[in-house]
Structure 1
């Protein structure tokens, strides 16, 4: 899993764990990175859809976005995230916050993810 940045309106936005991410939160990021996007052959993390994973006293909050509004897989993806995190020892609850700022952009994709998508026949 890598960290990348994409420009937003006024500042830089970092995707992925950062220096303040606890080892437990890092473990949660790694688990979410196992969940494939249902439409594209990359993970939700690789797609840049996961903005934050925070844990406090067993309560986990995942801040995420979608590449487009009205995605038919909204519920499916959220269920996948909850299903992979809830069984983890130390996780009491999982909340998913959908955010639209910053707006998802293909610029959030690492070059290797873009290449993986092109190799799968997806143009960017």
Structure 2
């Protein structure tokens, strides 16, 4: 497993508290990069005015800093492409009961 895959697995531990599904299966994580012990995450939220913004972004930073013992985590929160339910993984759809 390379570092980007390891980071993705760690991010499966960060949940959208309103939906009860992790941010990877929800389709919020667009890109993961790891270079020279620096972590870069490109992600979105379900809506620009998401009330869980601080909770979710804070959870990403906390998990990565805690588990990887680094302070060099950058999160780029983007709104394009716009998130849609089609981005939810099969596992996520199963959790939400979506067919």
Normalised TM-score (structure 1): 0.72
How many residues are aligned here? 98
The counterpart of 1:113, out of the listed 76, 80, 92, is: 92
Structure 2 residue 48 is the aligned partner of structure 1 residue 61: no
User: Which of the numbers 7, 13, 27 marks the counterpart of 1:48?
Assistant: 27
TM-score (normalizing by structure 2)? 0.88
Higher relative CO (Cα under 8 Å, sequence separation at least 6) belongs to 2
Write the distance in 2 (CA, Å) between the matches of 1:110 and 1:57.
Answer: 30
Instruction: Name the SS for the 1:103 alignment partner.
Output: coil
4+ long deviations beyond 6 Å: none
Q: Which has the higher helix share?
A: 2
Please report the RMSD computed on the Cα atoms of aligned residues, expressed in angstroms: 1.8
Q: Which has the larger radius of gyration?
A: 1
Tell me, which stretches of 5 or more residues in structure 2 are unaligned?
none
Flag structure 1 segments of 5+ consecutive residues without an equivalent: 1-21
| Aligned-partner Cα distance in 2 for 1:39–1:63 | 21
Specify the SS of the correspondent of 1:60: strand
